[in-house]
């Protein structure tokens, strides 16, 4: 009993430090959740959806709209916003796992359009762009291949078009998850 009374100050200080660490960890997670929600709301905006559709079309055709056009600006802004998300992930502001869980197929479907845009910018301006987004899409591709794909009620595999090696179409959907046959199962 005298040991406890003698070391009570040390015990209280240790508990205070532990509580401070727990509070800091909780606050960090709360900030990450808040930032993820803001990122998600930005990515589902209609303008971002239109930009991704235009990007899919560029990937399909291998051609970008004229640089001064509204469509080019829309694609550029969409890619810039996705690149900012990739930077947030690298800095630990938003957890990679959360973004890939929700957006991996969409990110995979952006690959061909991103490659078209990056080639144009490299040739036109001489420097690489959207490097962070490139790394995020590579992570999404690994995650899409590594994880068990979702299956719809008819048994069709829901997998991004790029990973399955098919071209995006211009049907106007945003490509989030697409029903296709599973090449691994021989369908």
The encoded tokens of residue 133 equal 């987004």
Tell me how many domains the chain contains.
Answer: 1
Q: Is 110 a domain residue?
A: yes
CA distance 42 to 49: 10
Q: Is 17 a domain residue?
A: no
How many distinct helices (H) and strands (E) make up the chain?
A: 8, 3
CA distance 65 to 53: 13
179 touches 156 (CB < 8 A):
yes
Q: What pLDDT sits at residue 38?
A: 95
Which residue segment(s) compose the domain that 110 sits in?
Answer: 26-185
The encoded tokens of residue 167 equal 């071209």
> Cα 53 from chain centroid?
16
Q: Is 19 a domain residue?
A: no
Q: Is 45 a domain residue?
A: yes
The encoded tokens of residue 186 equal 């021989």
Q: What pLDDT sits at residue 146?
A: 82
pLDDT tens-digit profile, the chain (187 residues)? 676 767 777 777 777 788 777 777 777 678 889 999 999 999 999 999 999 999 999 999 999 999 999 999 999 999 999 999 999 999 999 999 999 999 998 999 999 999 999 999 999 999 889 999 999 999 999 988 887 666 667 877 766 655 544 444 434 444 333 333 333 333 3
Helix, strand, coil percent content, the chain, rounded in steps of 5: 70, 5, 25
Kindly give, in sequence order, each residue whose CB lies less than 8 Å from that of residue 72, ignoring residues fewer than 6 positions away. 64, 65, 66
Q: Is 47 a domain residue?
A: yes
Q: What pLDDT sits at residue 163?
A: 52
The structure tokens 């239109």 sit at 50
Q: What pLDDT sits at residue 121?
A: 94
- Which residue from 135, 29, 141 is spatially nearest to 86, judged by alpha carbons? 135
């Amino acid at each position: 009993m005298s040991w406890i009374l003698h070391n009570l100050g040390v015990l209280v200080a240790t508990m205070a430090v532990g509580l401070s660490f727990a509070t800091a960890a909780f606050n960090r997670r709360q900030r990450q959740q808040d930032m993820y929600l803001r990122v998600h709301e930005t990515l589902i905006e209609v303008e971002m959806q239109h930009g991704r559709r235009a990007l899919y079309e560029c990937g399909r055709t291998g051609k970008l709209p004229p640089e001064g056009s509204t469509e080019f600006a829309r694609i550029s802004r969409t890619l810039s916003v996705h690149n900012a998300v990739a930077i947030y992930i690298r800095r630990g502001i938003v957890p990679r796992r959360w973004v890939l869980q929700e957006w991996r197929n969409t990110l995979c479907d952006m690959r061909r359009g991103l490659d078209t845009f990056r080639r144009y910018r490299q040739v036109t301006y001489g420097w690489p762009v959207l490097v962070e987004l490139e790394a995020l899409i590579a992570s999404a591709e690994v995650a899409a291949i590594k994880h068990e794909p979702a299956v719809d009620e008819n048994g069709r595999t829901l997998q991004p078009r790029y990973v399955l090696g098919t071209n995006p179409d211009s049907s106007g959907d945003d490509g989030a998850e697409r029903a296709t046959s599973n090449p691994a199962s021989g369908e």
